[in-house]
Structure 1
């Protein structure tokens, strides 16, 4: 089988296609979860005043569902650009750690391949590609990270995200309040599955708990939208504190 080969670092065009198709197949269960909350995001964006052209620009240029939902929570007319940038940075700051985890697998590649790889990195594509690379590394492969496999994942996720957020923007006015359909629960469900795959014990999950508790308190007692930056900041700060405490 292709995934067990370790005698060569380069793949033929046929092998590239096989790996790309494997990425597409892996993405199918993710897409089933992405479609509902892509529709929700598109519908919510139009309710905030964005046009059906601005929605795909938002989701295509940023391509990070968590931060897109977060900025819509605090969106105003006219928008507070600095606040939106700040929240986007906080929510997407986890990508710094996700990108760092890929350094051992990407350091031999030129920037023209690395930069697009990082741009299209989202939680789902990172989790699947990283797990695949770790599995191959344990089997002794020298070049464990498969770019064609990763490209297949990202192609499907990006295309479906842009398409269904745009569709949500178009049909949002017809649906009315999309929350009554329960579609927004798909967002939480996908992240719970991803977190389950990253579980490394209670000690490693302490920042998650801190972020959850502080975000819940902020949601209950502070103005709308503040739970997002507060939960993110407290989670990041607690992660650094726990790391220093464990190292001492």
Structure 2
């Protein structure tokens, strides 16, 4: 199929308003996984005597579920600030690999619009934004409006329900006993299945996984996240060369 045929076979980007609405609609199934996971985080934060406003600030300014759970686990009185910051950076280092994957699709967009938008990037919005761009078969078809419509809905839900979980923590008890903490992982596994393009394309992820598992078994803390990220980036770079 020629390039012109591909162009005509793929629906063009909609207006900003249409793509915002499309992103918001696409977020609805993912929100079902966000809500119970957010309640778990909020309930755990309440056990460390963090109030709803404090939790909302934490989750709103650092939109990364894994690093927030790590921060809550390490929280003490007085807090060991540098330890919490270091662990947050380690866990969030996976965004390096995620950002590198998005880079070719963002090249046509102005940096002053891209960088503020990527503040709202999380695992799910990254996966869905990338899948939407790839479905158009063209690298210039990343819809920033779709990404923002999706990401803002996820961000607002996450901040709202983590704060609610903190406020209702004593009444909720340990809601992990009901398996709610598996909802987030289940949603992401479904998203990854939709992105599967064959073993060749998945090699960096496999290398990252193997390296992370090895480091996890040898070193305490969150070093496995950084190690897996670096290994995946190195493998992708080597294959590209």
Give me the whole-angstrom Cα distance separating, in 2, the residues matched to 1:195 and 1:86.
Answer: 28
1:4 matched residue in structure 2: 11
Paired residues for 1:45-56 under 5 Å = 45-56=45-56
Deviations 1:111-143, CA, capped at 9 Å, x for gaps: 33112111011111111111111121x2x5x73
Give the match for residue 208 of structure 2: 207
Partner of 2:170: 173
Once the two structures are superposed, residues 81-132 of structure 1 have per-residue CA deviations (whole angstroms, 9 ceiling, x without a partner) of 1111111111111112222222233233333311211101111111111111
> 1:4-153 residue pairs with structure 2 within 5 A?
4-5=11-12, 15-136=15-136, 138=137, 140=138, 143-153=140-150
Aligned twin of 1:159: 156
TM-score, normalising length: structure 2? 0.83
Per-residue CA shift, 1:174-212, capped at 9, x if unaligned?
112222222112232233334434555274313213323
Secondary structure of 1:78 counterpart = coil
Contact kept? 2:94, 2:226, Cα under 8 Å: no
Task: Give the secondary structure class of the aligned counterpart of 2:148.
Answer: helix
TM superposition shift of 1:146: 0.8
- What is the number of equivalent residue pairs in this alignment? 230
**Runs of at least 5 residues in structure 1 that lack an aligned partner in the other structure:** none
Residue 213 of structure 1, CA deviation: 4.9
For the structure 1 residues 183 and 18, does the alpha-carbon distance in structure 2 shift closer, same or farther, using more than 3 Å as the test? same
**Match of residue 231, structure 1, among 206, 224, 227:** 224
RMSD value, Cα = 2.8
Determine the C-alpha separation between the residues in 2 that align with 1:188 and 1:40.
13
Change (3 A) 1:162 1:110: same
Q: In 2, distance between residues paired with 1:113 and 1:93?
A: 22
Unpaired runs of at least 5, structure 2: 1-7
Question: In the aligned structure 1, how far is the partner of 2:98 from the partner of 2:226?
Answer: 17
In 2, Cα distance between the equivalents of 1:160 and 1:128?
17
